[in-house]
Homo-oligomer: A and B are copies of this chain.
Amino acid sequence: MSGTREEILDQIKVQGDLVRQLKAAKEPKEKIDEEVSRLLALKAKLGGDAPVNQKFTLKTPKGTRDYAPQQMTLRQGVLDKIVQVFKRHGGEAIDTPVFELKEVLTGKYGEDSKLIYDLKDQGGEILSMRYDLTVPLARYLAMNKISSIKRYHIAKVYRRDNPAMTRGRYREFYQCDFDIAGTYDPMIADAECVKIVAEILDTLDLGEYVIKLNHRQLLDGMFEACGVPADNFRAICSAVDKLDKSPWEDVRKEMVDEKGLDGATADKIGEYVRLSGGTELVEKLLADPKLKAVPNAVKGLEGMQLLLKYCSLLGLEKAISFDLSLARGLDYYTGVIYECVLKTEPPLSLPATPIKTSAQNGGDQQDQQGGGGIVGSVAGGGRYDNLVGMFDPRGKAVPCVGVSIGVERIFSVLEAKFAASKVKLRTNDVEVYVASAHKGLHEQRLRVLNQLWQAGVKAEHSYKLNPKLLAQLQHCEENQIPLAIILGDAELSQGVVKLREVVTRQEASVKLDDLAEEIIKRRPKD
């Protein structure tokens, strides 16, 4: 049966192609009609009802997943809270297509470009799936000549990476980005991005966290001060980025053996990257003779000083740490860089060791996972002042700074938390279930439901004519529906129905006409 069906499907394909060819060639109508009728006959052979024996495994593509109602409820709760924070800071939403012209993405991600999903060339434009939300933002700003915006964007991005789904690392995953574009005075917008990350982490109640801060100009200046050749800055930066999960010895080895640095230079770097602290560290480094001699280092340190001061005014002292080991992978950062790491152990099944998005590239603004600490990064970002200029025909730059919240990681943490607590999230909002006490009441149910829906009450019932009362009440319990209306001929003849609290099983007699009002009255206040 299955073989025959496949043969027919093949024949349909061949016949369909033939018909299209004939139509394209504008062959005589008779000829086309004849072949069309053969095609239809073939299709009729299949029938509509015959089940197909699937030859392929029934699954979602590698590295992707469906969200079931429970997961959707959790996810929506997290996203709502994040949006609330974004809006508290004046963020406006935008959206861009899921794919871009391939050229838009070309040359923006370095070696990670190989992880981009391309679309098949089906004639017309050559397209690729978006890899993050930052490059589409830069394209949007340049295309629309927008020189300032405070925007957020929550959407899925795509990376042909090695998935580790139990750890929250997917090929299709959400990013929640907040970026401030515009020419402003130093560090005011940058500090607000730190504040936003802290507010989100606080509202999501994920335990203790630290927001690490560093500055690309300081890193470059420090490399220069240590004697790293300029054309080796990015490579050495990428090695430093691995310090969050590798010991210094391994990183030093990479610098010396793989990246050709001499040992003495590496050791000088080693002294610096182990430092972390607050304003006192900035002052110490500003007094450091080697760094003082390098303009980039001084500029970076002065930037950090200002950032730390603003962060302090925003009540963030305890949340932040100036950390010279923070490097981040993406080339496009030009100023401050951030990364937020959870300090407490992840609950339950979550991995004790963090995983990188990409083996080659040490974390970036849009990391779903990123590095850092035991638990891994849940947010990251930085300043990128030259990306928009890459899209502008005249190279007009729009300075930008932004953060990206690693929500997949957060979903994973919360899913584990809920699994441990055994709390079952409600996946529907139904306020009242309309039940029949006995047979023959389905029309009455529809009348009552219509009345409730018109009043804006969230209500449902069984789609069976004569469901058992027990089954109906069980449905309420399983779905945590707080109220049930029980229709019965005896009560209906007096114009009343029973209104039952599902948990307490308390029942009250309510007039049919007052039903919607009574249910609205019982709504929990918030």
Q: Is A43 interfacial (CB-CB < 8 Å)?
A: yes
- Segment at the B interface, from A268-276, A374-382, A455-463: A455-463
The reply to whether B428 and A16 form a contact with Cβ atoms under 8 Å apart is no
Asked whether, in the complex, the Cβ of A119 is within 8 Å of the Cβ of B122, the reply is: no
Q: Tell me if A64 and B97 are in contact (CB < 8 A).
A: yes
Number of copies: 2
A54 close to chain B: CB less than 8 A: yes
Q: How many residues of A contact B (CB 8 A)?
A: 134
Tell me if B69 and A94 are in contact (CB < 8 A): yes
CA distance A464 to B184 in the complex (A): 5
CA distance A55 to B64 in the complex (A): 35
Q: How far is the CA of A260 from the CA of B310 in the complex (A)?
A: 79
Taking a contact as CB atoms under 8 Å apart, the answer to whether B231 and A41 are in contact is: yes
A65 to B143, CA, bound (A): 12
A493 lies within 8 A of chain B by Cβ: no
Task: Let me know if A393 is at the binding interface, CB within 8 A.
Answer: yes
B contact residues around A142 at 8 Å (CB): 58
User: CA separation between A127 and B60, bound complex, in Å?
Assistant: 10
Interface membership of A95, Cβ < 8 A: yes
Within 8 A of B (CB), among A8-67: 9, 16, 20, 29, 33, 36-37, 40-41, 43-44, 48-56, 58-62, 64-67
B-chain residues with CB within 8 Å of residue A59 when the two chains form the complex = 101, 143
Residue in chain B with minimal CB distance to A387: B48
With a cutoff of 8 Å between Cβ atoms, the chain B residues found around residue A156 in the complex are 98
Is A120 among interface residues, defined by CB-CB distance under 8 A? Answer: yes
Find out whether the CB atom of A188 lies under 8 angstroms from the CB atom of B442.
Answer: yes
Question: Are A454 and B93 neighbours in the complex by a CB distance under 8 Å?
Answer: no
Query: Residue on B with the closest CB to A444?
Result: B313
A393 to B90, CA, bound (A): 51
- List 10 extra interface pairs beyond A184-B462, A185-B465, CB under 8 A: A52-B395, A55-B103, A58-B391, A65-B97, A88-B457, A89-B459, A99-B172, A117-B122, A150-B428, A188-B465
Pairs A–B under 8 Å by Cβ, sample size 8: A40-B232, A52-B391, A60-B100, A89-B459, A90-B429, A184-B462, A188-B464, A199-B453
